[in-house]
Amino acid sequence: MSIPHIEWWHWIVLGLALLLCELALPMFVLVWFGLAAVVTGIVLALLPSFGLTAELTLWIVLSLALVVLWFRVFQSKGHKTRAGMADMAIGEVGLLSKAVAPFVKGEVRFQKPVLGSEVWPCIAAETIAAGTRVQVARVEGSLMTVTHV
């Protein structure tokens, strides 16, 4: 039984098929394997003396390199929104820079940024004067609920 020979255009067709599959199954995974197959086809068109093992190795290395490049360089490390991060702010202590009362928004300032900002609008169930230390009890959207410490 002989090993089938894979031509350069087979790789390009495989790459395009994987890219089309990515459109049907938008997981943003197949795109890297498809791009690696297209690049492998281009390399083999320019340098046709590769064997099957070298072709597969080139495709695997290119696929892994593109995936690593995606996760290390292109994919953002920071969060785009604060959704799901509010629990990190609960319990933080800050200083009221603007008095707060029921139905009146105040402003709390933190020594270090909390959820990306040093100053936050806040509300409270009781009247609290400016300059008082407060603790974050809840975060709802871009508004913190604070209590007297």
User: Can you spell out the DSSP letters for 85-130?
Assistant: -GGGTTT-EEEEEE-BBTTB-EEEEEEEEETTEEEEEEE-SS-B-T
Q: Which two tokens stand for residue 27?
A: 């997981």
Tens-digit pLDDT profile for residues 2-27? 667 789 999 999 999 999 999 888 77
Domain with CATH 2.40.50.140 in the chain: 86-148
Tens-digit pLDDT profile for residues 28-55? 889 999 999 999 999 999 998 888 899 9
State the pTM of this model: 0.53
d(CA 136, CA 104): 17
Tens-digit pLDDT profile for residues 108-127? 999 998 888 899 999 999 99
Instruction: Please tell me whether residue 146 adopts helix, strand or coil conformation.
Output: strand
Q: What is the DSSP letter of 142?
A: T
CATH 3.60.130.10 at 86-148, yes or no: no
- Cα of first residue to Cα of last residue in the chain, in angstroms, is 80
Helix 30-46 × helix 8-24 angle, to 10°: 160
Q: Which two tokens stand for residue 113?
A: 């940024």
